[in-house]
Chains A and B, each alone.
Chain A
Amino acid sequence: MSTNLVLIIALPLLGAFLLPVLMRSSMAIALWSGPAILIYGCWIIADLWLSGFAQPLSVAIGGFAPPLGINLYVDSLALLFAFAVQLLGLVFWPFTLDQESARRQSLMLLLVAASTGLALSGDLFNLYVFYELAAVATFGLASASGSGAAYVATLRYLILSGIGSVLTLFGIALIYSQTGTLNLAHLAQLAPEQLHNSLGLTAFLAILIGIGVKAELFPVNTWVPEIYATASTRLSAFLAGLLSKLALLIILRLLLLIFHQPEAAQVILILGILGVISGELAAWRAREMKRMLAFSSIGQLGMIFIAMALPDGKGMLAVLALSLHHLIIKSGLFMLAEDWGGALERLRGSAKASPLGAVLFVLFSLSLVGMPPLPGFWAKFVLITELAAQVEPLYLLGLAVFLLATVVEASYLFRVAATLYGSPAQDTLSEEIPKTKGLSLLTASLFGAGVIAVALLIAPVGDGLQAIAAQALDVDLYITTVSPAVSGGSQ
């Protein structure tokens, strides 16, 4: 089983490097190998899940036991995200095949591999490596659309995340210099003595900001609108939907295992609040679908950060719920945006041309603004109950901002909805009205079906999430799982 788990990282990696070679020999193999790999990955995880997966397990790579060796840590949370990676990789797979789409495909596989790694890796340095891999893949994909604007955006992104990586590395270095280990479990043990000080905090903040670049953390998220607006929607969906969540996952793990200090939480809270304000407000005036979605996802991520900032893991459930919800909704919305890109005014009256698309848009928007009984409502409900429970005024401020942001969100989302259902302007001819069609519409409706399913099965889903959250919160479990030898304190 452990080998299988390694496979879900290794296979896409392998595929990524072999694909260009393969396609020289045979198109067909090249065409199908990628999806095959991903399906296999999904199957492995599903199989693992279904075969009574209760206790988290740690997989040592290369036979060295942690903390010396590197390991994968697999708990239900990690598994969930790994599965999401494989699945979305499949869903957003660039299905055509020619010279440059082959490059896209291999980059996609690379991205999947790296993301899975991010989800599973139990080791700070590995995390960093996978993170870099993912970044590289992303650059490639982002610039793949080939337009000038895309290159400019990518360049910005490149510089930004480059500096981000440097910061991250700096933070990791600090930690290493302090503790001499990079294994998370080990760090979790050492943290209380060695890292709960200003130096540790510096390290964490450096990492936070570095990784925050991918997690769309304010203010290092300035690349987001440009990239999402210019890159292919499928990539944007993947980035907004998944990669940001994985970065979140890392930060979350660090916060839970190592740096559960009030200051850290406070910084995250402040940045989160700023993220919400800036994102939602900016989206309010967005005149273009993709840009609007980009801004709103900044806002959503900000909300998740607020949730994350809740002291000693109270917000875990909220983070989980919000992330998954945003993952589904945003991917769906981006799928719609694939055909509805460009100025919003162009969309006037396109509900007639593509009723299903319009209905899906309304559905996603309703869930996004948290209309009961759609899942978005429950996610937000969990968050605000937790926020209101805090005495710290900053949290109540967070609550207020969150509520106001929701109002703004509703107003701009439904302005678009009204545009969709409005009567088309006289000057635009009917054929000019863009229609949602083909694969993207199918994908979007898949997500829509998912939303409705969750809404119907909300009770079991909620319980499941609670279980996952509980497991992820359990630090001792993590430690004991990774290094059974070491019990509790330091060596």
Chain B
Amino acid sequence: MGSIKQIPVVEAKRTNPLARVFDDLVRFCRSRSLFILHYCTGCGAIELPPAMTSRFDMERLGIQPMVSPRQADILLITGYVSIKTLKRVILTYEQMGSPKYVIGICSCTVNGGMYWQSYATAKKLDEYMPVDLYIAGCMPRPEAVIAGLQQLMDKIHSGEASSWEDYYRNYDYYLGNQQKLFGEDWQTPTDVISEAKHYDLLSEGTLGDHTRLLEQHQKPLEALEMRLGHEQEEPAK
């Protein structure tokens, strides 16, 4: 059960003062330029237009909407997540570029809210992906949303908002929950384990029974590297 508290925040192990300044600058820029991908499930989405447009104007905080997960920093889940939806949410989350942040809006993302009895709804979002911030309420008003975003900005600036690393560190746990929900043969196109290696975030929690289960049926999805071989089995007819 990985909640944000238990994760030690890794400090950049640098001694060069210039590097510190640079890291600080980078964190500052990250906090002041946030591209949102709002995954508009449920009713919370209705609160975002006022938050973006002339009334509250997110852009003055450097926050602007984006359309594709590759471009986005924040994944905004604005309401209840049915199981079908959750698959897409996870796919989208894994396609986003880290550092990435997840914000759950409305009580449905916290505990299922009014869908508590529903057989088809994922109750707790943070069982399936690390969530940086919940904005509770049904639905929270734009002020609340803005306030939440500002809180996130502060966390980013101070460098605590690193829960995305948790997804790699405890991937086995999250995968386990996902498999419980979607079945044994669950697989996303993104090869999280190799990414964990790529960011050297591989830790004891990354691999486990569930990842082993995954590797049994996982179709190979390693990238198509350029090849310069001149020998082909036999040219096409």
**Is chain B in direct contact with chain A in the complex (CB below 8 A)?**
no
Binding site for A on B (CB under 8 A): none
Binding site for B on A (CB under 8 A): none
